[in-house]
Structure 1
Amino acid sequence: MRPYKMKFDLHTHHDRCGHAEGKIEQYIQSALKQGLKAIGISDHSPFFGMEEDQPLPGIAMAKSEFPHYIKEVLELKKKYEGQIDVLLGVESDFFPEYAEVYRQVYSQYPLDYIIGSVHYVEGITIFNRKRWDQLDEAGKIRLKDKYHDLIVQSARSGMFDILGHIDAMKGRYPEFSEIPSRNLEKAIKAIGECDMTIEINTSGSTKDVGGWYPSDHILELALHSGVKVTMGSDAHIPGRVADEFEFVTRRLKEIGFHEWVYFKERKRISVPL
């Protein structure tokens, strides 16, 4: 098999967030074993818009822990220099009402990239299966449109380098993809106009939906709209680093992509598939 020109994974977590396993260094070591050239560490951002230090311990790290997270990644970046490029990232929640709070925090640190993810719609996690139970068809369409609108807002905010798992609402509700959407094509077009990158996130294989985010249909729309793509396993255990990398590269080529990107020092770098 022909070796890949650049093997990388920009989306990994670790035990700080409260729902992942393993230390940061274990993810780096897993990446080395698989021949990655770059590994991005991107744990869940603290809830900077809330007063409590750690309002949801099983979801994200405490605000007071964030500087220690930064320090550890920077130390590991130096330790593994010459072996693998350890990239300092964060997966940031997007709450429009707190966008400036998050922006000010991130400006204090030497981040290589920021993944912007919509995890909450109308105050409820997108992975809550029960939210769909009492909705009629019109209600489901309205909710899907609200989700897409938040993703477009996150793209237009200028805060992020990558948009995370842009159809992850299907994770615990596979029927999501079948809900008619008035805004999907407009949303993808807007993402392209903002010159944003979206990730192919393979963690859908750990959810009810299987497969990955986003769907092939969305990737086809993204290609047509000039949207750049990147790779993220969203690993919550070290063994999932770069999960399905080979499958993803093959499928992207079949769809028509010729390159994808990664980020370093907030600069987008294109590499051939």
Structure 2
Amino acid sequence: MKFDLHTHHERCGHADGMIRNYIEAAIDAGFDVIGISDHSPYFYSEADQLHPQIAMAKSEFPRYVAQVLELKREFEGKIDVLLGVESDFFPEYADLYRAEYDKYPFDYIIGSVHQSGGVSIFNRRRWNGLNERQRIEQKEEYYDLIQQSARSGIFHILGHIDAMKGFFPAFSDIPTPKVDETLKLIGEIGVSIEVNTSGSTKDVGGWYPSDEMLERAYFYGVDITFGSDAHKPGRIGEDFDRVRQKLKEIGYKEWVYYKEKKQRRVAL
């Protein structure tokens, strides 16, 4: 069974194509399940669309949900279209985001930390001039936010959990026990992490998380799902078979996806 739970489209302002294009690409690639999970609005802002090149407008959110549900019905029997969303995680606004998501029949919610210390995790300049201790502090702050997101109870999947390495590959080598602590917590709570193949579009190349982190995730009993994080229809399912093979080599026998907020386990 082939599934991809992490996709975007034109509403977020930095992806190409309409939702329909991603569904059709998934069918062409032989997928059984396609999840639509565009970037959630900045609900805390008074502005309708705080960052037009990052996330959809608040006024678009109900239309987004309605369109996915309509396409779910249209493509029934050809592919299972799931309603998801990729949500930012801001601890101070967690209750606000939870209340917004409770209004809609999501199949799953991906929780992703995109900002740490008020700065984008993809801002390569954030590392300029930092000594080793300060780099460790930056990494630990990031994983503390991921731990908080896991504890929040809002999310079924945690997105790209080492994506801070995207434009700073040395991130992976910054030593801290916080990574193992975080994976242990995720395993205990029962939320899943994704293998996100969009690292291929960044300086680091490869996947999030690293193979080493996937091995540690297996040790701590963390469930795994798959997401291409496609911002172009042509990236749907990128490296799906390679990821599946790597997980088998690590020792995984199955991975998961979500429908109607229930975890479905699938043999690798």
Could you state the TM-score of these two structures normalised by the residue count of structure 1?
Answer: 0.97
Q: 1:173 aligns with which of 168, 175, 181?
A: 168
Paired AA for residue 214 in structure 1: P
CA distance in 2, matches of 1:107, 1:233: 26
Q: Is 1:18 paired with 2:9?
A: no
Mapping 1:236-255, distance limit 5 Å: 236-255=231-250
Q: How well do the aligned residues superpose, as a CA RMSD in angstroms?
A: 0.5
Q: Is 1:183 paired with 2:156?
A: no
Mapping 1:67-106, distance limit 5 Å: 67-106=62-101
Q: 2:150 aligns with which of 140, 151, 155?
A: 155
Q: 1:224 aligns with which of 194, 219, 226?
A: 219
CA distance in 2, matches of 1:244, 1:110: 29
Quote how far apart the aligned CAs of 1:134 are.
Answer: 2.0
Cα offsets for 1:25-49 (capped at 9, x unmatched): 0000000001100000000000111
CA distance in 2, matches of 1:36, 1:21: 20
Aligned to 2:266: 271
CA distance in 2, matches of 1:221, 1:49: 35
Aligned to 1:109: 104
CA distance in 2, matches of 1:174, 1:50: 32
Q: 2:27 aligns with which of 13, 23, 32?
A: 32
Aligned to 2:43: 48
Alignment: residue pair count = 268
Q: 2:141 aligns with which of 140, 146, 157?
A: 146
Q: Which runs of 5+ in 2 are unaligned?
A: none
CA distance in 2, matches of 1:138, 1:111: 41
Aligned to 1:3: none
Cα offsets for 1:78-123 (capped at 9, x unmatched): 0000110000000000000000000000000000000000000011
Quote how far apart the aligned CAs of 1:131 are.
Answer: 0.4
Mapping 1:107-146, distance limit 5 Å: 107-146=102-141
CA distance in 2, matches of 1:163, 1:33: 27
Quote how far apart the aligned CAs of 1:135 are.
Answer: 1.1
Paired AA for residue 156 in structure 2: D
CA distance in 1, matches of 2:118, 2:64: 27
Could you say what secondary structure the match of 2:41 adopts?
Answer: coil
CA distance in 1, matches of 2:5, 2:38: 11
Could you state the TM-score of these two structures normalised by the residue count of structure 2?
Answer: 0.99
What percentage of residue pairs aligned between the two structures are identical?
A: 63
Quote how far apart the aligned CAs of 1:182 are.
Answer: 2.8
Quote how far apart the aligned CAs of 1:52 are.
Answer: 1.0
Paired AA for residue 35 in structure 1: G
Could you say what secondary structure the match of 2:170 adopts?
Answer: helix
Paired AA for residue 203 in structure 2: D
Aligned to 2:192: 197
